[in-house]
Structure 1
Amino acid sequence: MHKKTTYKPFGNAAILIEWQAIISKEILNDIILFKEKIKKEKATLITDFIIGYNSLTLKYKNEIGNYCNEVESLKLIYKQDFKLNKVEKILWEIPVCYDLEFGIDLEEISEKSNLSVEEIIKIHSKKTYTVFFIGFLPGFLYLGGLDKQLHFDRKPNPRLKVPKGALAIGGKQTGVYPQESAGGWHIVGKTPIHFFDIKNENLCFAKSGDQIKFKAISLEEFYQTEKEVLKNNYIISKTLLNG
């Protein structure tokens, strides 16, 4: 089913394509499919594809000569029947310590949500989250699928320093801070896994369409895993998904 898309110039050498402004797996799959169609037809012309919740930005190597013609070309590509070679999607299992040493906002969330800390951890860790896109910081995964019971407004006054690896909740989303930064999300735990590493060929191990599952671990397990990660001895558990 074709979904309504709009096209906008984004400077002289980029086009922003937008879908309905909702967070939806169906729209995400449509964006990924369209991206693959465009790559097949225009791989030599485009330097970057940037996926958002409901958008795809195309960055061209050169200035776009005739914007209207290019948009018409993209619209034709969108309508094409296209058998997509299976895009490999992976379920990543990420160890997280929800101990209060790291989950410094768990008690606040508990107080305001009428859920116990244990219930919050259970609800958060039982869900499987979809990677919609990477943004804000390199390696910051915007994850959809947070249980409604844990939807929690961002802090009115952001922290100046959120530690690398902090797992947090902001609004209807959850995610891991890949490096120390300012941030206004509520921190519920920490992972020893690097979500962005310049030493790796793939700077971030996950991509749009992948899934993330958080596995609760103890403080002792956290520090042991952290040692393994620092020695490059830790391999993230992953499962290949169909479709």
Structure 2
Amino acid sequence: MAPPRPAPPESVAAALAEVAELGPFFSVATGEPGAVWRPVEDAYADGLAHLVAAFTNRHGLSERRVAASVVQLGHASRLWSPVLGCAVLHGVVPDLGGLRQRADASALWLPEARGWWAPRGEALARMVYRLVMEEQLAVLAAGLRVKVAPGLLRGNAASALAGAAHAVARARPGSRRAVISLAAGLLDIGDLRGTGTFTGPGLKFRRRSCCLYYRVPDGGTCGDCCLTERHP
């Protein structure tokens, strides 16, 4: 299989800037830093402790694993969203190497806009899987400071993927077929396999695990939760 072709930095930067308009989870800053950032590997090594502590304190939680799960789900959304958006809408895949996170928040920044022209078919799904699941979320899972079931974390990754795909298709209806194809391909790879399925029109998704958000005071269940019937 031929290696992916590098895309010009200006093409990657333009794609990231355009998809950032789709919403906050699609935003990855590039260029000159405007805040204090640290390598995302350092944030992963302590399990995004600053975000877990902030969520725990804000909601008065006694179970830090609930906060860790919700934080990991949110971070997964911040990874999937710009990558899917750039790949489907602009035909480029941003390189997440060198990714940094704001020291006091969840925002992300890339010092350099690098990436590749998106390959076609299964090759694209496998490239995106490697960039997000293997090089990012697996490292975060290893750094979490509280025990969270691996199946739950995989389900969070799948839920975030489905949510990102839905957001792209809703914002750019002409991309619907392409984003469904990519998301379905990703759900058939590695740790995403068996985590959930698309069950109807509009990219409606049902996961096979629960992110535990219902344990947050006044939290309730998410639309794709396997516990929806038990916790209306």
TM-score scaled to structure 2, two decimals?
Answer: 0.23
Normalising by the residue count of structure 1, what TM-score does the alignment of the two structures yield? 0.23
Higher strand share: 1
More helix by share: 2
